[in-house]
Amino acid sequence: MTLDRTLTPHPGGTTSDTSGDSGTGADAQERVQKLRRRLERLIGVAATEGNELVALRNGDQIFPAMLDAIRSAEHTIDMMTFVYWRGQIARDFAAALAERARAGVRVRLLLDGFGAKKIEHDLLETMDDAGVQVAWFRKPAWVSPFKQNHRCHRKALVVDEHTAFTGGVGIAEEWCGDARNPTEWRDTHVRVRGPAVDGIGAAFAQNWAECHDDLYDDRDRFTEQPQPGSSVVQVVRGSASIGWQDMQTLLRVMLTSAEERFRLATAYFAPDVYFIDLLCQAARRGVRVEILLPGPYTDQRACQLAGQHHYTRLLEAGVSIFQFQPTMMHAKIVTVDGVASLVGSTNFNRRSMDHDEEVMLAVLDQSFTAELDRDYEADVERSEAVDPRRWKRRAVPRRMREAAVLPFRRFM
């Protein structure tokens, strides 16, 4: 799939021909409206209409689209990322941000103090010399170790207040390419235009406010958002808190609302028992529950072991589990019944749900969801299914490794 083809927006509101799960048009619209009201009332964030969404698959599509947007900026660029590591792509982003700052564009870059610690210092110097405002979210400090467990895992780029990107990708060579081999990670990002851009901008502003005195300046125009598309989007921000939080509510509503099919792709699968119960309950009431996870390639083996502890229960309930084989699976995607989807920075683990700053798009658009489902099916073709009988016979040392990480699962 070429970049030009991918960047053609898909109109919302049409019935998918590929899933067979969304029923008649009237039935699908009724489901969408019911789900929309559940999400709005239970999370307290209004969905917006008239959005244009473009799904971008892997670095070959994601990075050119983001860099093109940056290079075309005329007024403001706001960017935040958890990972900013090394490689030519890291240099390309630094050069593009620095060039726009020298041209008079207000450029703000928010980096997580833990996730972006591998960034090369000469890139920081280049951007600083050009006038890029670089801020750090909670650099590691021994004086407050518990505060350091709360990270900014959000990924967002907002250009001129009217074009935004969010998803799972970090700025590093690991995300370059097209997931063809272990050096090219699999991920999904989304380009957004329309009223939902304000929600993504608010996610940036929320974390920028903790790190910098100036929340806005005279280059922020606060213009009205156009409605270039037809997607209904709710932007949900997750933040560390005591007790139940919005990201947990979002995933809970999507799971309990599923009637025919619930698909999950996540880089890190280590939920608590409550969400394992929800997955099992959905499967037992007749929902086809499918989970796509990293296989032999993962950068967090302990987290993988923590999730594998639950495989037996899930498999016995009828949940299908697939392990992606070619490379690291880093996407964070949910689709429900062919009518709704989630995409953003949130993993299906305790860290994303309990500890970290996250942002997720809840999209009510059959055409967009169908595109994510097609990508999901292509990924499953490159995966291996976990066989329940073989899993029960796994070796004792493997079971011991799974048990060994359980005391630490709330931090994974």
Residue recorded with tokens 């699962």: 409
Kindly report the CATH number assigned to the domain that includes residue 128.
3.30.870.10
**pLDDT for position 350:** 82
Whether 5 is covered by a domain: the verdict is no
Whether 9 is covered by a domain: the verdict is no
Whether 156 contacts 78, CB under 8 Å = yes
Q: What angle do CA 406, 349, 204 make, to 5 degrees?
A: 140
Tokens of 118: 């591998």
Tokens of 406: 């359980």
Q: From CA 23, how far away is CA 29, in angstroms rounded?
A: 10
Whether 13 is covered by a domain: the verdict is no
Which residues span the domain enclosing 324?
18-411
**pLDDT for position 6:** 38
Tokens of 395: 């070796």
Chain mean position to CA 118? 21
Whether 2 is covered by a domain: the verdict is no
Q: From CA 56, how far away is CA 84, in angstroms rounded?
A: 19
Residue recorded with tokens 């919005």: 246
Q: Which amino acid is at 220?
A: D
Exposed/middle/buried for 387, CB within 10 Å: 0-12, 13-18, 19+?
exposed
Q: Which residues 6+ apart lie within 8 Å of 393 measured at CB?
A: none
Q: Which residues 6+ apart lie within 8 Å of 14 measured at CB?
A: 366, 367
Whether 4 is covered by a domain: the verdict is no
Whether 76 is covered by a domain: the verdict is yes
Q: From CA 182, how far away is CA 179, in angstroms rounded?
A: 7
Exposed/middle/buried for 314, CB within 10 Å: 0-12, 13-18, 19+?
buried
DSSP label at residue 409: G
Q: Which residues 6+ apart lie within 8 Å of 70 measured at CB?
A: 77, 79, 93, 96, 97, 100, 157, 159
Q: From CA 268, how far away is CA 351, in angstroms rounded?
A: 9
Specify the number of domains making up the chain. 1
**pLDDT for position 5:** 33
**pLDDT for position 62:** 98
**pLDDT for position 407:** 65
Taking every pair of Cα atoms in the chain, the longest distance, rounded to a whole number of angstroms, is 64
Whether 199 contacts 235, CB under 8 Å = yes
Whether 8 is covered by a domain: the verdict is no
Instruction: Specify which residues 261 forms β-bridges with.
Output: 288
Q: From CA 198, how far away is CA 310, in angstroms rounded?
A: 38
Residue recorded with tokens 């041209």: 103
Chain mean position to CA 24? 30
**pLDDT for position 145:** 55
Q: Provide the pairing of β-strand 188-193 with 320-324.
A: unpaired
Q: Give kind and range of the element (H or E) at residue 284.
A: helix 273-284
User: In sequence order, which ranges of 103-181 are alpha helices (DSSP H)?
Assistant: 121-130, 145-148
Q: Residue 122 half-sphere exposure, CB side, CA atoms within 13 Å?
A: 6
User: In sequence order, which ranges of 72-142 are alpha helices (DSSP H)?
Assistant: 88-102, 121-130
Classify the phi-psi angles of 194: left when phi > 0, otherwise alpha if psi is within -120 to 50, otherwise beta.
Answer: left
User: In sequence order, which ranges of 121-195 are alpha helices (DSSP H)?
Assistant: 121-130, 145-148
Q: From CA 104, how far away is CA 121, in angstroms rounded?
A: 23
**pLDDT for position 403:** 65
Whether 12 is covered by a domain: the verdict is no
Q: Which stretches does DSSP call E strand in 345-393?
A: 348-349, 358-364, 383-385
Print burial letters for 131-142: b (CB count within 10 Å at least 16), e (below 16): bbbbeebbeeee
Q: Which amino acid is at 227?
A: Q
**pLDDT values of the chain reduced to their tens digit, one per residue, 412 residues:** 333 333 444 433 333 334 445 566 778 888 899 999 999 999 999 999 999 999 999 999 999 999 999 999 999 999 999 999 999 999 999 999 999 999 999 999 999 998 899 999 999 999 999 999 999 998 776 545 555 667 889 999 999 999 999 999 999 999 999 999 999 999 999 999 999 999 999 999 999 998 898 999 999 999 999 999 999 999 999 876 655 689 999 999 999 999 999 999 999 999 999 999 999 999 999 999 999 999 999 998 888 888 899 999 999 999 999 999 999 999 999 999 999 999 999 998 887 887 789 999 999 999 999 999 999 999 999 999 999 999 887 776 776 666 666 666 665 4
Cα distances (angstroms) measured from residue 125 to each of 19, 95, 129, 297: 50, 11, 6, 34
